[in-house]
Each structure stands twice: as C-alpha cells, then as structure tokens.
Amino acid sequence: MQTVTLNNGVDMPILGFGVFQIPDDETEKVVIEALEAGYRHLDTAASYGNEEAVGRAIKASGIPREELWVTTKLWVQPSGEDNTKRAFERSLRRLGLDYLDLYLIHQPFGDYYSEWRAMEALHKQGLARAIGVSNFYPDRLVDLIDHNEITPAVNQIETHPFFQRQDYQQQMIELGVQIESWGPFAEGRNNLFTDPTLTTIAAAHNKSVGQVVLRWLTERGVVAIPKSVRPERMAENFDIFDFTLTADEMAQIAALDTGASLFFDHRDPTMVHQLGTRPID
C-alpha cells in the first residue's frame, strides 16, 4: 500500500475505508469484508455511532494491531480539556484498542482550543500516534497552528472532482498538513458516475469512474477513504495502483472543479449552530 509521511514522520496509508452512514448493525460485517479485501486503514467517528462495531470487526479479523491504521474523531465537547480526554477514552474503549493511529477534531466549533491542548497531551503520551482536524477552513487552520505547539498532521475535508481544493492543498503542503478527502465520490452528486469526462477516461484505462477518481486523488497525494457496503465494489476501489492518468487526463478532471461544496458550508451560521449544538452519546 502506498503511504504518505505525516509531519511527525509517521507513515499513513493513502487509501482507506470509511464507515460514515453505515448502520451500526451492518458495520461489523462490512468492515470485516473490507479487511478481507485488503484495506488496513479504517476511518470512523464518535458521531457515527459505530465505533463498537468497527472494534468488533478488528478483533474478529485477527490482523495484528500494528498492521492497521485506525482513525476516529472527537465530536464537539463542552469546554475543558478533561471532557476531551474522557471522550477519547470512550472511543478507545468502544474500539477495543490501546491507542489510535489518528485522532481528529471533527468540527471547527466550540472550544476546540482546549480540545487541541488535550489532544497534544494524548499524543505526547503515545495514545494517539498522530492528531489532526477535520472540516477546518484555512483561516481556522492557520490560527490553530499559530497559537499551539503541535501542527495538525491531517485535515480531513470535502474533496472530490467537483470541489477539488487545489489551492488549499498547496497551502496545507506549505504548512506541513496532509490533506485527506471525505466524500471522494461526492456521494454520486452531479451525476459523478455518469459524467462524460470521467466515463471517457475510465474507458480508456478499462477502469470504473470510481477507480479513476481514487487514482486522481492518489496522484495528487490526497488520502481518500471511500465507502461501500458491497464486497465487489470494495475490491474495485482498492484496485487502483496498476494504472496512471496522463497529464491531459488530470487537466480534464481539473476542469470539472466548481469551487464550491456540494453539501454545506461550514461557515454558514445556521449550519454552525446545528453542528455545534448537536449532542451525541
């Protein structure tokens, strides 16, 4: 598996498996199938409600812990570092693990400065090999970096052919932050799987549109965590390392960028309120 090296020297698999919106009662089976397909990088979150199922799948797989990369995320917490530490302990317990490979602040809302200080401490204790953020726009990312000791290793953000984040990726490279894509297929919006540009490129390589999108991301150095509940699609998504896109094909995909989210803007006041005040167990 191809890897990227984070700003603390840790190597992270460039391709993983996400479990967002997979029901808890299906997650264990799906993750076991993903591991059987070859995935060793798993991405979940406290807010997804399926950390325990991911943990059961990891245990059932029998795969040595050191061969896995496991990410989970901290939801918006009440102020105070202790709340973050308790949330981390709950996630670790649900996953049945002794440490995490990557722990992310899920949303840039609430008292994320105290959350980050707590996460710095967890990292120094060896309980999280790397720490990072998710959904941080440039202003908040730079401000967090400027006023804290540890620079986030990763920023997981919406990234797909219709919202490519090229300029932001370059900023993150300069800051030493690895970009990671959530929603690499845009959940099929804008008719992604039948887009003429993508289907033409896919046909030229005897690959699927999904494979072309994931290959496009990896060639840009973007970590991706595609999701599927179908074993054949999991295997297909994993089979992207035997072809390359031409410079012309990369340019054609670049032309699909709309420069705007297909989901929601994390700077929208209504969305900020909804996410920032939504409790989880």
Domain hosting 221: range is: 3-276
User: Rg for the chain (alpha carbons), in Å?
Assistant: 18
Structural domain includes residue 281: no
What is the mean pLDDT of the segment spanning 67-74? 98
**pLDDT tens for residues 175-203?**
999 999 999 999 999 999 999 999 999 99
For residue 253, tell me if it sits in a domain. yes
Q: Which residue has the higher pLDDT, 281 or 9?
A: 9
Does a structural domain hold residue 14?
yes
Q: Does residue 241 form part of some domain?
A: yes
pLDDT band at 79 (very low <50, low <70, confident <90, very high): confident
Per-residue confidence (pLDDT) for residue 200, from 0 to 100? 98
Interval 226-247: pLDDT, tens: 999 999 999 999 999 999 999 9
115 CB contacts (<8 Å, ≥6 apart)? 74, 77, 81, 84, 105
Under a CB-based contact definition with an 8 Å cutoff, are residues 57 and 27 in contact?
A: yes
The answer to the question of residue 240 being in a domain is yes
Residue 50 is part of a domain; what is its CATH number? Answer: 3.20.20.100
Q: pTM (2 decimals)?
A: 0.95
Catalytic residue among 48, 103, 112, 168: 48
Number of domains in the chain: 1
Q: Kindly state whether residue 158 falls inside one of the protein's structural domains.
A: yes
Is residue 112 flagged as an active site residue?
no
Q: Give the C-alpha separation, 277 to 17, whole Å.
A: 28
Average pLDDT over residues 52-72: 97
* Predicted local confidence at residue 281, as pLDDT: 65
Share of the chain above pLDDT 90, in %: 92
